[in-house]
């Protein structure tokens, strides 16, 4: 059962806390007797990660440009939290501390409060643009609250890293009406001046933010507001439930706490299971009984979405919804930040991952967030071009270099990328002869076009990608070892969609990004969202976003899309199968592997198995199998050739 306002943990005396630290880090028993369970659990996680205790943890702040992009992404959250930041600002300033707003990963977006303490906090990297996730900064209120999914206070030496002992911090995560983490508020100050009510103030502020998230967010739905004490109706302490056709689809934490429910009740409970009597009519206020006692209940129905009138011929049709932005987990975001810094230092980046796992999206974000963003992003798919054309596409050619050449010649992607970023997708499919020419370009930084001509100096950042295991290709002799070591100085492996822990939240986030914020935006029903989350998605993100675009295109304004709208190959398989159990691995979400049945092993074997399965399902039809996987036909042809078909 969620606890909107968890009880405060007793503060151990300083001597007792230091004794507990010595016992814990020396392996002696008894440390848990002096510490709250969340602190013990957090210290254990940090120790298992091998985080340093005595020295400073390595904080890698975002550049100002990267921070601006992140703030823009969470502008709606920042806007909704502004009243609470200002209210907490008074308390923080009086106690000599600062108020902090973070994104769902623990990256600090904004700080307000005492300028003097802000300077001291910056010495331990408590400032905008720095991640305070537990994996980056050890036990701290921000990162530990996000993992525990509840309000946490971490005082002085309860921090895992000794330099952070100057802080006393209280933090609480912000949940949206579907139970998804959307951000966090934190109140931090000097450990020498404890703020006795810090956590209560932060929890109250978070409750007010979450309460406002329901305003106008559920057009045409029935919203029930209730509390055992009628004086709490209309405040952030009231329970709020949203029903669609009498089925619970959204809630706030006070409502779940009053009813003794968890977030898994969404989509699973009906009004008649929670309250006696009928739902009633909008405006009704009455006493009602719940399994936990009597409450005062008030029903309202939010204004329905406006009816979209048919457009007359002279009026331009409405713009298509904006495409979904990239949705990376916390570890992938960190890998992206490192990739950008390395690209700035002239280090090539190699992206590995299954087909459709977002390699080009990741590469485009390296370009968009880096200093070369205003220059060209030149991309070529080495698997999609016939072997005879790859060389001319990359190097360009002079007039008359070959039959069919353009009269004015062609510059080629190497020269087109000058000053920008060159992205070589599926580089594992590049012919061996061309690999040697590519290596020469990378060494000498100059290009000679086909048909002669003078060598031209080029300056580009190189990003390569492949779904194939390049190390294995090197061992097989089909990929040059010297080229591999040149392009793989930093490798990012993107996880397949099926390995992500919270796929349902990801589906909902992608849908909201596609559908947009309008009042008439279609919604996904819980059953539809669950079916999408259960699917194994051999084509990964590319396949999922393709299905979502189809559902959105066919949905009516304000409609709730049910599982009956899903493609047959998804609904038939996933509406019958039980939900996958949550992964118990201690690995981060982006490293955990939860393969689909029959798919296991290294990247190459998983990819080959997925291709074989798609071909079997499509009765050997290569075009259909390629469309299902979201890849080019030539990639499947090469796969068949390599298997001796």
Domains 222-301 and 499-641 share a fold: no
Task: Decide if domain 222-301 falls under CATH 3.30.450.
Answer: yes
Tokens of 149: 């999914």
Predicted local distance difference test score (pLDDT) of residue 470: 93
pLDDT mean values, one per 10 residues, the chain (645 residues) = 44 70 82 82 91 74 84 88 83 76 93 72 78 90 94 92 89 94 92 78 92 87 91 89 92 94 92 87 85 87 54 36 53 87 89 89 89 85 68 69 47 84 90 85 84 80 93 92 92 88 84 76 88 88 84 82 80 45 35 36 57 76 68 61 58
Predicted local distance difference test score (pLDDT) of residue 94: 65
Predicted local distance difference test score (pLDDT) of residue 116: 67
Predicted local distance difference test score (pLDDT) of residue 57: 63
3-class SS at 422? strand
Which sequence spans correspond to the domains of the chain? 14-212, 222-301, 330-493, 499-641
Tokens of 199: 């956590």
Beta-carbon neighbour count of residue 331 at 10 Å? 17
Predicted local distance difference test score (pLDDT) of residue 582: 36
pTM: 0.49
Predicted local distance difference test score (pLDDT) of residue 604: 52
Architecture of domain 14-212: 2-Layer Sandwich (3.30)
Architecture of domain 499-641: Orthogonal Bundle (1.10)
Task: Decide if domain 330-493 falls under CATH 3.40.50.300.
Answer: yes
Helices (H), 562-632: 568-574, 603-617, 622-629
Predicted local distance difference test score (pLDDT) of residue 627: 61
Report CA dihedral (132, 134, 137, 140) to the nearest 10 degrees.
80
Predicted local distance difference test score (pLDDT) of residue 603: 47
Write the secondary structure of 472-496 as one string of H (helix), E (strand) and C (coil): HHHHHCCCCHHHHHHHCCCEEECCC
Predicted local distance difference test score (pLDDT) of residue 583: 37
Predicted local distance difference test score (pLDDT) of residue 406: 45
Evaluate whether 464 touches 487 at the Cβ level (below 8 Å).
yes
């Amino acid at each position: 059962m969620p606890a909107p306002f968890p009880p405060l943990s007793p503060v151990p005396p300083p001597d007792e806390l230091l004794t507990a630290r010595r016992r814990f880090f020396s392996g002696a028993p008894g440390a848990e007797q002096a510490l709250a369970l969340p602190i013990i659990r957090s210290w254990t996680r940090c120790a298992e990660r091998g985080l340093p205790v005595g020295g400073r943890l390595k904080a890698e702040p975002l550049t100002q440009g990267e921070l601006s992009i992140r703030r823009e992404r969470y502008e709606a959250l920042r806007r909704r939290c502004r009243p609470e930041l200002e209210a907490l600002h008074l308390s923080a300033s009086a106690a000599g501390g600062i108020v902090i707003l973070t994104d769902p990963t623990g990256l600090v977006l904004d700080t307000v409060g005492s300028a003097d303490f802000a300077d001291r906090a910056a010495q331990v990297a408590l400032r905008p643009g720095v991640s305070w996730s537990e994996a980056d900064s050890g036990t701290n209120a921000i990162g530990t609250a996000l993992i525990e999914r509840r309000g946490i206070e971490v005082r002085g030496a309860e921090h895992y890293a000794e330099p952070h002992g100057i802080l006393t911090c209280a933090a609480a995560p912000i949940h949206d009406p579907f139970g998804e983490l959307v951000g966090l508020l934190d109140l931090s100050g000097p450990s020498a001046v404890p703020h006795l009510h810090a956590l209560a103030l932060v929890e109250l502020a978070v409750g007010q933010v979450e309460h406002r998230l329901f305003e106008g967010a559920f057009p045409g739905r029935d919203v029930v507001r209730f509390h055992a004490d009628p004086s709490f109706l209309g405040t952030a302490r009231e329970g709020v439930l949203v029903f669609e056709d009498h089925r619970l689809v959204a809630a706030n934490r006070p409502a779940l706490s009053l009813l003794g429910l968890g977030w898994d009740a969404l989509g699973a409970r009906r009004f008649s299971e929670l309250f006696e009597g009928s739902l009633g009519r909008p405006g009704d206020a009455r006493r009602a009984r719940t399994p936990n006692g009597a409450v005062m209940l008030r029903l309202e129905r939010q204004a329905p979405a406006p009816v979209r009138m048919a457009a007359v011929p002279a009026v331009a049709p409405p713009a298509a919804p904006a495409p979904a932005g990239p949705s990376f987990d916390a570890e992938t975001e960190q890998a992206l930040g490192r990739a950008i810094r390395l690209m700035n230092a002239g280090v090539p980046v190699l992206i590995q991952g299954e087909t459709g796992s977002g390699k080009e999206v990741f590469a485009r974000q390296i370009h968009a967030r880096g200093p070369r963003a205003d220059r060209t992003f030149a991309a070529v798919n080495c698997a999609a071009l016939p072997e005879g054309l790859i060389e001319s596409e990359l190097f360009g050619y002079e007039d008359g270099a070959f039959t069919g050449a353009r009269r004015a010649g062609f510059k080629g992607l190497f020269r087109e990328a000058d000053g920008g970023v060159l992205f070589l997708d599926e580089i594992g499919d590049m012919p061996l002869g061309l690999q040697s020419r590519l290596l020469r370009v990378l060494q000498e930084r100059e290009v000679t076009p086909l048909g002669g001509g003078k060598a031209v100096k080029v300056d580009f950042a190189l990003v390569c990608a492949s779904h194939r295991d390049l190390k294995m290709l090197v061992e097989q002799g089909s990929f040059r070892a010297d080229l591999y070591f040149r392009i793989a100085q930093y490798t990012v492996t993107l996880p397949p969609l099926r390995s992500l822990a919270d796929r349902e939240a990801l589906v909902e986030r992608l849908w909201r990004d596609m559908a947009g914020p309008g009042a008439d935006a279609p919604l996904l029903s819980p059953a539809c969202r669950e079916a999408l989350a259960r699917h194994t998605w051999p084509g990964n993100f590319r396949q999922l976003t393709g299905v979502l675009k189809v559902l959105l295109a066919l949905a009516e304004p304000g409609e709730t899309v049910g599982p009956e709208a899903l493609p047959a190959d998804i609904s038939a398989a996933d509406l019958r199968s039980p939900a996958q159990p949550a992964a118990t691995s201690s690995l981060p979400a982006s490293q955990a592997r939860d393969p689909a049945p029959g798919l296991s092993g290294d990247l190459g074997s998983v990819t080959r198995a997925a291709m074989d399965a798609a071909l079997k399902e499509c009765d050997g039809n290569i075009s259909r199998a390629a469309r299902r996987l979201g890849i080019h036909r030539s990639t499947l042809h090469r796969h068949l050739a390599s298997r001796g078909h």
